[in-house]
Every structure is written in structure tokens, then in C-alpha cells.
Amino acid sequence: MTPPSPAPRAWHLILLGVSAIPPIVQIAASSSPAYGYFIDELYYLACARHLAAGYVDHPPLAPLVLAGVRLVFGESRLAIRILPFVAGGATAWLGGLLALELGGGLFAMALAALTIGLAPAMLALSSFYSMNAFEPLIWMVVILLAVRLARSHDVRLWLPIGIAVGIGLENKHTLLVYVAALGAGILATSTRRLLATRWFVIGGAAAAVLILPNLLWQMANGWPSLEFYRNAQALKNVPTPPLRSIVAQILLMSPMAAPVWMVGLFALVAGRWRELRFLGWSALVLFAVQIASQSSRPDRLTAIYPLPLAAGAVTIGNHIRNRRARIRVIAAVTASAAGSLPMATPLLPPTAMAAYVERLGLQERITLERGHTSSIPQLLADRTGWESFIDDIDRVYRRLPEADRRRAVVYVPDYGHAGALDLWGPSRGLPRVISNHNTYYHWSAGHADADVLIAVGANPKDLDLLYREYSLVDVVRCEYCMSWRAQLPIYVARQPIMSLNVFWPQMRHYE
């Protein structure tokens, strides 16, 4: 459908307004006093204070950007979340532009932006600061460029595609799976003819140059990210059979949006966009990999959905011409998204959220990691308990004799508690923190020795090896936290038997 000449500007303004809905919802939800920083945000803030070319569990781009945010706006929750909020809205906006690129009108643009921006997965990933908030946006840029490349045959577009891919890989290593799927789709279709050009080599070289610093860091540190990904798949993710994986995908993007992306996927593979079939096949490859991997993390596919949602919005728009029918479609999609908002954003306080989950019978559905449960979704559970944890450590620390306080170090088993201590500990005069989890393992190596160790969640068998004396002095309790941190013992250990620095390599925990 070709819009009349005066229409495009108005359409773009309407698209901008629709795309602003997700950030507005996020800002409103984020003001809830019942929730604090998300666990990953505490870690990313720590990474932003330790800038490097790489980290155990992610490349350097997200911490680098966050360092700039901290410098300009500070470390408040709202300050560090503005960019993720905007990224979610921008992804919806680009989805609307893709619908326009595919020949859709105003209805298709609005439907695409709504189904993308208000999808539970998109709202969840863009509700806090992490690399995951930016992956769908970066991949949408790649898709739009790939569409224009396939239609115009302007092979110079391989350069911006390569740059976007390089930036994406500096944001998140697993974008490589998307790149591989895109490559498979290109090789399986006539689009492979566009590879036979020096611009493809130039684009690939640009991507390689951008990812090179992180590759050098990985090489210098023994490729820790490979160990991290192996451990996450083997020890963390819950095995998920194919049917449950498919159901999870439908819930992930909102049930009412499922017909839109399913129609779009079929249209891309077998519809009128023959020159874009490589995109449909790439999406199918990703779905197949997700199902075959039996991963309990359906959000891993979030970045691919804007493509079939935009294609589906155009296809549905071409078949539904009646204005009232179109309004009903928009209303149904919006209502479905509204019903899932409490699961994806911190709209309800924990008590009400727990009742909501129980009423819907979703307790089993919200368990994404082995042995980790809560009465509320992990997305929300991991925003609770951090400041009360600092109170617990402060109380234990103040009870120590003055001589012990001068020599004390705090050990915690994960980057969330370590990040919380790094964020709030200095203002309270608390001692430095060490942890064996992910990149904190590297930051703590060589600095782990402690005459007096406040050990949170430590293994008593390890303390037996390291200290002559230790005692249980308190317990960290958190009602709505994930089960692994709902009750963490706090020990105070004295009189070292052996150097903790020597023992440190045995404590490494990448997951």
C-alpha cells in the first residue's frame, strides 16, 4: 500500500507516539518503592567502575556506556534505566519503519510497534540496565539494512551491516547465533549472490576490528566466557521439552501477538517477499536451535521477533481493510499486553504480585533456573532485599571488636551481593568485598587474604581448610528473593591457616 503524499509525516508522528508508550510505561513502573536495583544492575555498575576490554560473562560495550551514564547522570535507578527504556521504544519504532519498508500502511506500522514494544519479553529486557536491553535494537538495525541490501542490491551496505554486527558482538557474544542464522538463510537462498563482492569482505573486516579488543582480552584470560556459557547451559538452565518451549515463546511475546508473528513468519518464508526469504529462513533456524537446545530461557529469541511481527502486521493489514476490524485488532493486542504487564514490569508490590502469580497458576512457568524459585517472577525477585542485606552486614561489622574491624574483609558468593556492597558499602564505612563469581573472581584474585573474614553464604568445609576459628553470627533473610539467597548464613572467621590467595583458584565460579 502506497500512502498518499501528505500522509507520511503524519504517519511517522503517530508511529513515534505509539513507540513512546513502552518507555512511558517503564518510567511509571520503575518509580515503585517496593523494588530496588536488579541484581545484574549492581554488577554492571561494578563493571563500569572497572572498565576493561572484556568480562567473564559479557563484552565491554554495556559497561562502557554505563560508565558514561554514571559520569553525566549518576547511579540512581532511573538514571541508569533511561537508555534501556529508550532502547525498547526505539526497537518498536524501527519495527514500525520495517513494516513501512515492507509496504505496510499506518495500521501495519502501529500494529508492529505495539506488538513489539508491549511484548512481555521486550518490556522485561528493557526494564533494567543490561546488555540484553540493547540486543533487539542492534539486531533491528541489521535487519533493516539487510532488507535494503536485498532490495537495492547496493553491496556497499555490507559495511554498515558489518559495523552494526561488530557493535552487537561487543554488546553480547550470543549475537553470533543470530549472525550464523542470518548467514544460513542467505546461503540457502538466491541472496547468496550478494556475498560475491569486496564490500562483504570489508564489512566482515569492520566487524572483526570492532570485536578484536574483546577477543584479545579473552585470549589473555584463558577464554573465560566459553567456560561461562558451558556452565550456564549445563548447570543453570532448566531442561525444557519442545512443546513447553513453544508455549513459552507464545507467552513470551503475548498470546494475542502470536498470530501476528506466525503469519509474518509464514509470509517471509513463502509469501510475496521472495527477495526476503533469507530472513524467514534465518528466523526458522533460530527457532529450531532454541527448541533443540531445550533451554529454559525463551527470552534468548527476543531480538528476532520484531522481524516476523512487522511482516505479520503488513500481511494482516493487507487482508483486514475494515476500520472497525482494525481497531478491534489493535484493542485485542493492547489488552493482551496489559494483562501481562505485572509479570514484566514492577507494577505490583511483592505481596500483590505473589497473589497474582498464584491466581494465574504460573508458579512453574516462572522458574527459569535450576533450584531457584520464588513466589514472584525472577525479574522482580532479584530487585528485592539488597539494602536490607547491607543492613545485615553493617550490623555484623559493627559488632566486631575495633581491632577486627580494621582487618576485616567481606566475602560473598555472587556478583549481586558484591555489587551491592561496592555501591553502598563505602558510604557506611564497610570493608572491601571479595567474591569468586564471574569477573569478581578476577578482581579479587591476589587481594583475597583476610585475617578476619565476614563470610556470607560460605561453605563451612572451605572455612575448615582456611581458618582455625569461625562461627555463625547471623543470617541474611529475604522473603521474596530467589530461594538461593532467601536465607544466607553469615560467618565470622579468624586465624588463617593458609592464604586465601593460594586457595582462590579452587573457588572460581563462572555461571
User: Given pLDDT bands bounded at 50, 70 and 90, which one contains residue 295?
Assistant: low
pLDDT of residue 82 exceeding 60, the answer is yes
List, for residues 29-39, the tens digit of each pLDDT value.
988 888 999 99
Classify each residue of 418-451 as buried b or exposed e, where b means 16 or more C-beta atoms within 10 Å of its C-beta. Answer: bbbbbbbbeeeebbebbbbbbbbbbbbeeebbbe
Q: In the prediction, which pLDDT does 478 show? A: 93
Residues 368 and 371: their CA atoms lie apart, in Å, by 9
Domain that holds residue 496: 386-507
Instruction: Give per-residue pLDDT as tens, 308-341.
Output: 999 999 999 999 989 999 999 999 999 988 888 8
Task: Tell me: do 301 and 409 sit in the same domain.
Answer: no
Query: Do both 341 and 395 map to the same domain?
Result: no
Tell me if 370 is assigned to some domain: no
Q: Is residue 345 part of a domain?
A: yes
pLDDT band per the 50, 70, 90 thresholds, residue 271: confident
Q: What's the pLDDT at 5?
A: 44
Q: Measure CA of the first residue to CA of the last residue in the chain; give whole Å.
A: 49
Cα–Cα distance for residue pair 102/143, rounded to 1 Å: 12
pLDDT at 339: 85
Last residue of a domain, one of 335, 352, 369: 352
CA distance 125 to 46: 20
Calpha distance 91→95 (Å, rounded): 6
Q: Are residues 197 and 270 in the same domain?
A: yes
- Does residue 17 fall inside a structural domain? no
Residues of the chain above pLDDT 70, percent: 95
Position 318 scores a pLDDT of 94
Whether residue 393 sits in one domain with residue 348: no
Interval 200-241: pLDDT, tens: 999 999 999 999 999 999 999 999 999 999 888 776 666 678
Q: How confident is the model at residue 244 (pLDDT cuts 50, 70, 90)?
A: confident
pTM score of the predicted model: 0.92
Q: Mean per-residue pLDDT for 243-254?
A: 84
* Final residue before a domain boundary, out of 305, 335, 352: 352
User: pLDDT band for position 367 (50/70/90)?
Assistant: low
Same domain, 436 and 481: yes
Q: 17-58 pLDDT, tens per residue? A: 999 999 999 999 988 888 999 999 999 999 999 999 999 999
The number of folded domains in the chain is 2
Residue 107 CB-density burial (10 A; 0-12 exposed, 13-18 middle, 19+ buried): buried
Q: Are residues 284 and 392 in the same domain?
A: no
Please count the other Cβ atoms lying within 10 Å of the Cβ belonging to residue 291. 17
The fraction of the chain above a pLDDT of 90, given in percent, is 81
Q: Do 179 and 309 belong together in one domain?
A: yes
Closest CA to 336 of 106, 115, 99: 115
152-183 pLDDT, tens digit each: 999 999 999 999 999 999 999 999 999 999 99
